[in-house]
Chain A
Amino acid sequence: MADPMKIRATLQGDVADVRVLMSHPMETGQRKDSSGNVVPLHFIQTITAQLNGKTVFEATTTQAISRNPVFAFKVKGAKAGDKLSITWEDNKGDKRTDEITLGS
């Protein structure tokens, strides 16, 4: 299991400004390790954000996203006390979900 995400959200009116930092190597499949072997592809494929259990943001990503990806997006119709959960899944089937409560 990967390290926890860092999720930060600030409310501006009813719009939540969400920033999330994920801990992931995001290997491109192009890099070679010290002994000259190609490091295999390893990257986050899908990201889903849910507000109170309802999907509000979905993304598919590739290895062109930087290591330890940082994403920011905005969600309309959010209010303090809402639960925001973010899930990612990588190409090796590893996944992680973290949840925060808005306005706390």
Chain B
Amino acid sequence: MDFKRRSVLRGAGAAGAIVAAAAAGLVKPSAALAAPFNKAAHEAKNTADAMKALGVASPAESKDIVIKAPDIAENGAVVPIEIESKIPNTESIAVFIDKNPFPFVGSFDVSKSGVPFVAIRVKVGESSPVRVVAMAGGKAYTTAKEVKVTIGGCGG
């Protein structure tokens, strides 16, 4: 009985490894902004460097990206933001918080989901613009929204 249980577990582990390998193989270069994990962007200490690491060059201001975020966040550790891009063929969405110690928050590949929408909760260290970059058809578009924070979300 016990022996059987072991072999089942082993089987499950092997299957998991195959799935992981397949997922790794499926990551195409077109998903430049998203996976795999981008160490340079992650460790960049300002938004410009982080964008450069992600291969975003001089994004154009656009009103077609909608950021829903509170004007004043009482608790910087949990700031809900919602992003929707109305630019056709939006492939990915990247989020930066300019004044955080590490501004890069994350990037989201929406090219296969068909709906350029994402909602996340972020930490905001001090009052700062929340900047969103959307990639569509090889071009970069950006917009920003100021969020005021009364209690910081980093450190503690």
Q: Which residues of A contact B (CB under 8 A)?
A: 15, 28, 30-32, 45-46, 48-50, 54-67, 69-77, 87, 97
Report yes or no: B97 in contact with A73, Cβ–Cβ below 8 A: no
Report yes or no: A65 in contact with B105, Cβ–Cβ below 8 A: yes
Q: How many residue pairs bridge A and B at CB < 8 Å?
A: 121
Does B122 belong to the interface (CB within 8 Å)? yes
How distant is B145 from chain A, measured CB to nearest CB, in Å?
Answer: 16
Mask of B72-106 contacts with A, CB within 8 angstroms, 1/0: 00000111101000000000000001001111111
Alpha-carbon separation in the docked complex, A55 to B112 (Å): 7
Report yes or no: B108 in contact with A59, Cβ–Cβ below 8 A: yes
Considering only CB atoms, which chain A residue lies closest to B114 in the complex?
A: A76
Report yes or no: A66 in contact with B121, Cβ–Cβ below 8 A: yes
Alpha-carbon separation in the docked complex, A97 to B13 (Å): 12
Alpha-carbon separation in the docked complex, A67 to B35 (Å): 21
How distant is B88 from chain A, measured CB to nearest CB, in Å?
Answer: 14
Q: Do A64 and B122 form a contact, CB below 8 Å, given A48-B35, A55-B26, A59-B109?
A: yes
Alpha-carbon separation in the docked complex, A102 to B35 (Å): 25
Report yes or no: B123 in contact with A76, Cβ–Cβ below 8 A: no
Q: Do A28 and B35 form a contact, CB below 8 Å, given A66-B77, A75-B113?
A: no
Alpha-carbon separation in the docked complex, A54 to B112 (Å): 9
Mask of B7-26 contacts with A, CB within 8 angstroms, 1/0: 00000000010010001001
Which residues of B lie under 8 Å from residue A72 when comparing CB positions?
82, 117-120
Q: Do A64 and B121 form a contact, CB below 8 Å, given A46-B36, A57-B110, A58-B35?
A: no
Q: Which of A56, A64, A87 sits near B106, CB closer than 8 Å?
A: A64
Alpha-carbon separation in the docked complex, A31 to B118 (Å): 28
Report yes or no: A65 in contact with B35, Cβ–Cβ below 8 A: no
Alpha-carbon separation in the docked complex, A104 to B107 (Å): 30
How distant is B149 from chain A, measured CB to nearest CB, in Å?
Answer: 13
Which of B19, B113, B115, B120 has the most A CB atoms < 10 Å from its CB?
B113
Q: Do A60 and B112 form a contact, CB below 8 Å, given A31-B156, A72-B118?
A: no
Q: Which of A45, A55, A63, A73 sits near B108, CB closer than 8 Å?
A: A73
Report yes or no: B106 in contact with A62, Cβ–Cβ below 8 A: yes
Q: Which of B101, B120, B154 sits near A70, CB closer than 8 Å?
A: B120
- Apart from A55-B23, A65-B122, A73-B108: 13 A-B pairs, beta carbons within 8 A: A15-B115, A56-B112, A58-B34, A59-B106, A61-B105, A65-B106, A66-B78, A66-B153, A67-B78, A69-B121, A73-B119, A76-B114, A97-B19
